[in-house]
Amino acid sequence: MNYSDSRELLQLRPYFSIKHHVNGRIRIVFSAGLLEKVPRAETGQLRELMNGIQGVREVRLNLPARSVVVHYDPTRIPPRVLADLIEGDERAAVQALQTLTTPSASSNSRSKQG
């Protein structure tokens, strides 16, 4: 996933809020307005966009409950980054998005060692 594709997430931020967050798992709820902006037929694309982030293990979308549960590897994605992406100010969200969409130095060094 490249940075320009994921900018859609920034545009959708006003519809999301964090319901519950522990290391490795975050439950995000969204307003009904999101379903007006993103037709139900396209919600699978949102899931694919999130699944494309390195370190995301699973994304479960529950439309009737208007929630998304994301299981992620907290050693690859610092929990604060997800919180900033969803509920941080605009600057923090952009930085979080860059962090999520740029291969980490630790991942690069591990692949060079292996």
Domains along the chain with CATH numbers = 3-102 (3.30.1360.40)
Mean pLDDT of 65-74: 94
State the DSSP code for 72.
E
**Helices 3-12, 90-101: inter-axial angle, 10-degree rounding:** 140
pLDDT of residue 63: 86
| Residue 40 CA from chain centroid, whole number | 19
Nearest-CA neighbor of 6 among 108, 113, 81?
81
Mean pLDDT of 37-54: 74
3-state secondary structure of 73: coil
Report the mean per-residue pLDDT for the chain: 81
pLDDT of residue 112: 38
